[in-house]
Amino acid sequence: MFFRILADLVIIFHFTFIVYVLLGGLLGLWRKWCLLIHLPAALWGVIIEFEGWICPLTPLENHLRFAGGLPGNQGGFVEQYLVPIIYPRTLTSGTQWILGGIAAAVNIGIYWFVLSRSHDS
């Protein structure tokens, strides 16, 4: 049970990180220094998709599931609703390029918006 809880926490963190990669630049509207923290995360998210790498959180989650005697990615709410978003069955290299492009475009748009608002102030 302990390892399943840890695995679920990893997948929730993973999902939260993905949302942060996509939208965390908006924190720059609150404090500009947030962009310095977000930019490396956004670059990581785009690069990992373009290169087809596996995020280190994925093997960690699977290790915790196996340590708890569970198969990877099956079970409750987390597995039912979050896992298919993070690990779609149709994930291909082409899909990863599209996702990376979306992540890059969203972040470029957010940074443009945030930085242009700071010049207007």
**pTM of this prediction?**
0.77
Q: How many residues comprise the chain?
A: 121
Distance, CA of 24 to CA of 27 (rounded, Å)? 6
| Range among 11-20, 33-42, 43-52, 61-70 with highest mean pLDDT value | 33-42
What pLDDT score was predicted for residue 80? 62
Percent helix, strand and coil across the chain, each to the nearest 5: 80, 0, 20
CB 13 within 8 A of CB 67: no
pLDDT of residue 37: 95
pLDDT for position 75: 53
**Do 38 and 25 meet the contact criterion of CB atoms below 8 Å apart?**
yes
pLDDT reading at 42 higher than 80: yes
CA torsion 47→50→53→59, rounded to 10°?
80
- Calculate the average pLDDT of the chain: 85
64 close to 7: Cβ distance less than 8 angstroms:
yes
Q: Burial-class residue 25 by CB neighbours within 10 Å (0-12, 13-18, 19+).
A: buried
* Domain positions in the chain: 2-120
- With 70 as the cut, is the pLDDT of residue 23 above it? yes
User: Do 48 and 55 contact (CB within 8 A), yes or no?
Assistant: yes
Confidence of residue 53 (pLDDT cuts 50, 70, 90): confident
To the nearest whole percent, how much of the chain has pLDDT over 70?
Answer: 86
Q: Which of 39, 58, 44 is nearest to 110 (CA)?
A: 39
